[in-house]
Homo-oligomer: A and B are copies of this chain.
Amino acid sequence: MKRAELTEKIADIKRERGWSWRYIAGEIGGMSEILIVGALLGQMKLTKPQCERAAALLGLTEQEKRLLNEVPARGSPMPPTDPLIYRFYELVMINGPAWKALIEEEFGDGIMSAIDFDMELERQPNPKGDRVRLTMTGKFLPYRYYGATGNDQSLGYKKD
């Protein structure tokens, strides 16, 4: 069974029962909504207890339950053609160079982890039109210069 088939089956069940993703995620529980929905859409895994609850809720077979517990081959098509997802892609394309310059200046050579990473999605009421608020925190991971011997590795030349 392919993960994509399971995703399609779950969407069919959800549609049939008239449930929201939020409701399903709430019933499965145990971690953030984004991660649970990501798993149901084939981009994340659920833990075993979550799989049990998901299987009970959605009426999945033993096979399907176990498949939800496996790490999927992650990734969705790029560039995104859907406008909602494209806007995030555009943000990276436009702001990526500035993020790089400022993060490296602040933290030194390294990256923000996309693995040791947390994110939250909220509605921010606003009289001019509500806003989507997305907060991400990722651990800064410095590039390791193995073999380095007692050097100053800071990303020098700050004004001070």
The residues of A with any CB-CB pair to B shorter than 8 Å are: 1-2, 8, 12, 15-16, 18-23, 29-35, 37-38, 41-45, 47-50, 62-63, 66-67, 69-71, 73-76, 78-107, 109-119, 121, 123-124, 126, 128-159
Contacts and interface: CB of A to CB of B under 8 A. Distances in A.
Sorted from nearest, which 10 A-B pairs have the closest CB atoms?
A75-B81, A32-B147, A118-B146, A23-B159, A85-B96, A31-B148, A112-B132, A38-B98, A87-B114, A47-B151
Contacts of A106: 22, 123
Contacts of A134: 99, 112, 135-138
Given A101-B21, A116-B141, A119-B95, A151 B87 contact: no
